[in-house]
Amino acid sequence: MKKAGFIILWAFVSSGLCAAPVIYQAENGVLNGTYVSTALAGYQGTGYVDGFDNSGDYCRVTVNVPSAGMYDITLGYASTMGGKVNDLYVNGVFQAGVSFPASSGFTSTAAGMVPLNAGNNTLRIQHNWGWFYLDWFGVEPAELPVLDVADSLVNANSTDATKCLMTYLASNYGVKTISGQDTAGSSQWIYDNTGKYPALCGFDMMDYSPSRVAYGAADPMQVEQAIAWYQNGGIVQFQWHWNAPSGLIDSGDCPWWRGFYTSCTTFDVEYAMNNPSSQEYQDIIRDIDAIAYQLTRLRDVGVPVLWRPLHEAQGAWFWWGAKGAGPCMQLYHLMFDRMTNHHGLNNLIWVWTTQGNEAAAAWYPGHAYVDAVGADIYLAGRNYSPSTAYFYNIVNLVDGQKLVALTENGVIPDPDLMQDQEAHWSWFMTWNGYQNNPEQNELSHVQYVYNHNYVITRDALGDIYNCVQETPTLTATRTRTPTFTRTVSPTFTRTRTETPTFTRTSTATPTFTATGTPASTYTRTQTPTPTFTRTSTATPTFTSTPESTHTNTPDISATSTFTLTIAETATPSFSATAGSSATRTGTPAF
């Protein structure tokens, strides 16, 4: 679904071109726990801000714009102690974690697209990792990208139901947001307190991990619950808190069931991926196959799955991201190939969880392996911001070609703000325990969200899995009265009766011998045989086969030439002398 972008016009220079970003010097802002320094050369203005050492340290400036709308924020900085991430707030509301890549001197980075009101607004950079230098803030009008994604899937062999789900997601992108809740139990709480079920329910493959099964993890019944959710018309999402294939510490603060955390396993994903003959690599294959079996159970009953593996990898707190982007991308591609090509899991929509900063590009598997991207965002309690800058940072990361979703959230973003700021997350999925925590989401807010006309709930989905129209097979009986001309050559029997009239003149010198009296009976043969011409006109009577309606004018006017031999019996009356010539008159019978 296309969403028209727009340009916010701000200021012009005398040449008629748009002005460069308006710069606000950080050292002139309000400082909390920070201070102005000039130790590192290369800054603009009279200095830069240092001292982002502790939680709550910040620098805040006031900026002024002529009209309300979306604006791009750029930050001048130096990060000589490695790459860092710190947080951007606009008018007191969190917008995004901003990446500050490592640098040897002062440079700049894009902080993202944010909403500003007409007049004065505050921009604040606050400690997250800290340990960087802030030089200036730049503000300029932004152009919103068009939210228009294809509904095709990276797996060309996807099932019809999976294609239909993707078509539904794409058609609503930029128009509405799909509600989601982690776990079936929490989804029931949503219904009990709002009268609506979330459209999407999140499930986890965690306890199907072989290393957890080996420690006695009970059957989590996640597949059975997911099938029931699908049969009730809902959308199924699965993530996988993948307990490390081996090397679980299982002591102290790291019991076996925390084995997906980097700190609770010695498993080295980089070594495993670089050594395919190793036991570690074989353990990875074993684990992927075990989860593929569970996904096959879903496939075999027709359930499409929003499949979100290796989530939050960039944070490195899970073992699959602990060794950096390279090994993690190798692992993702291995999983994609084995599940798609080896196991034939054609019911998956592949979802990648990323971060809204420049460093995220190195952690992106590529357009050919991802159907949708998302962010896991946990804001301070009751902060219902739609995280607009974060949203558009991810849109830009994938060149606007993929759906962008809020794949996990604590507080639920305000639907009105999502529309006002055009932060059109494809779906959101509130994490288990946050939906009913009044310090995170007030009950009145949850009820407001689930009864908002911008939010899609399960009852509004309809039959989203049957969008493929079959080509019908038709049996038709046609009665036709044709118009045509037919020429036939009939077979017929013709009987003709006629009494020919002719004149015969015969000149002959008969030779014969007479015995007895003149009244005797005799046979005469005449030589030569006379020749004559007959002209006949008649209307024949005939029978024609086949029986048809036609006009037939046969040619029956003819001239016939034939030879006639006559055997004649007569009682002549004559007088003759032997050898004499005579003329005879008579009526022959023939």
So where are the chain's domains?
Answer: 22-141, 160-460
- In three-state secondary structure terms, 164 is helix
Query: What is the separation of C-alpha 350 from the centre of its chain, rounded to a whole number of angstroms?
Result: 13
Q: In the prediction, which pLDDT does 242 show?
A: 99
pLDDT of residue 468: 73
- Angle separating helix axes 279-300 and 222-231, nearest 10 degrees: 30
- 252 conformational bin, left if phi > 0, alpha if psi -120 to 50, beta if neither: left
Phi, psi of 59 (to 5 degrees): -135, 130
Tokens 């946050």 correspond to 434
The residue written with tokens 């005579």 in the block is 582
Q: What is the pLDDT of residues 45-84, one digit of tens each?
A: 999 999 999 999 999 999 999 999 999 999 999 999 999 9
534 burial (CB, 10 Å; 0-12 / 13-18 / 19+) is middle
Q: What is the pLDDT of residue 512?
A: 43
Residues 6+ apart with CB under 8 A from 140: 10, 18, 19, 20, 21, 22, 71, 72, 74
**SS3 category, 350:** strand
Q: Distances in Å between the alpha carbon of 13 and those of 65, 403, 409?
A: 16, 38, 43
**pLDDT at position 528, please?**
52
Give me the residue label for tokens 């010539």: 581
Burial of 120 (0-12, 13-18, 19+ CB in 10 A): exposed
User: Domain 22-141, CATH 3.40.50.720 — does that match?
Assistant: no
pLDDT digits (tens, 9 = 90+) for 328-347: 999 999 999 999 999 999 99
Known catalytic residues are 312, 408
CA-CA distance, 321 to 520, in Å (whole number)? Answer: 144
60 CB-near residues (< 8 Å, 6+ apart): 29, 30, 31, 32, 122, 123, 124, 125
CA–CA dist 79, 87 (Å, integer): 15
pLDDT at site 97: 87
Class of domain 160-460: alpha beta
Token output for 191: 């219904």
pTM of this structure:
0.75
How far apart CA 150 and CA 166 sit, in angstroms, is 9
With CA atoms as reference, report the closest residue to 406 among 421, 419, 418, 420: 418
Gap between the terminal Cα atoms of the chain: 104
Residues 6+ apart with CB under 8 A from 484: none
- The pair of structure tokens assigned to 311 is 């989530």
Strands 428-430 and 455-456: unpaired
Contact (Cβ atoms closer than 8 angstroms) between residue 405 and residue 398: no
Pairing mode of beta strands 58-65, 30-32:
antiparallel
Which pLDDT value is given to residue 382?
Answer: 96
Positions in the chain whose pLDDT score sits under 50: 1-18, 472-527, 529-590
